Amino acid sequence: DVQLQESGPGLVKPSQSLSLTCTVTGYSITSDYAWNWIRQFPGNKLEWMGYISYSGSTSYNPSLKSRISITRDTSKNQFFLQLNSVTTEDTATYYCARGTSMDYWGQGTSVTVSS
């Protein structure tokens, strides 16, 4: 059974970097699919942030392009999100999900940006 699990700090200070990990079990991230990061803001708006493909290529939302990086560790079957220079507007629940059809999601991790 495919499972995704987000992890990372729940509180980040403004201007710092936000770093999250998505650990995938039950499927190899190098086999197929794009592996996405999505966030949901207070008020429930959903925003696709970007993905890393099974081959390692990346695609980012232009609204974040200067601040975002998605990388992976294939030996651990994990992929990562780094978002730089965060502000309070980056406060959200962050999800990882499989594929452009997003057929499997993690349970989400809440991140608050506050001093």
Partner 1 sequence: ENVLTQSPAIMSASLGEKVTMSCRASSSVNYMYWYQQKSDASPKLWIYYTSNLAPGVPARFSGSGSGNSYSLTISSMEGEDAATYYCQQFTSSPFTFGSGTKLEIK
Which stretches of the chain bind partner 1, using CB under 8 A? 44-48, 59, 61-63, 95, 100-103, 105-108
> For residues 19 and 108, which CB has a smaller minimum distance to partner 1 in the complex?
108
> For residues 17 and 107, which CB has a smaller minimum distance to partner 1 in the complex?
107
CB 4 within 8 A of CB 106: yes
> For residues 85 and 107, which CB has a smaller minimum distance to partner 1 in the complex?
107
Q: In whole angstroms, how close is the CB of 109 to partner 1 at the nearest point? A: 11
Q: Strands, E, within the chain: which ranges?
A: 3-7, 11-12, 18-25, 34-40, 46-53, 58-60, 68-73, 78-83, 92-98, 104-105, 109-113
Whole-number Å distance between alpha carbons of 107 and 61: 22
Q: In whole angstroms, how close is the CB of 72 to partner 1 at the nearest point? A: 19
Q: In whole angstroms, how close is the CB of 80 to partner 1 at the nearest point? A: 19
Q: Which amino acid is at 22?
A: C
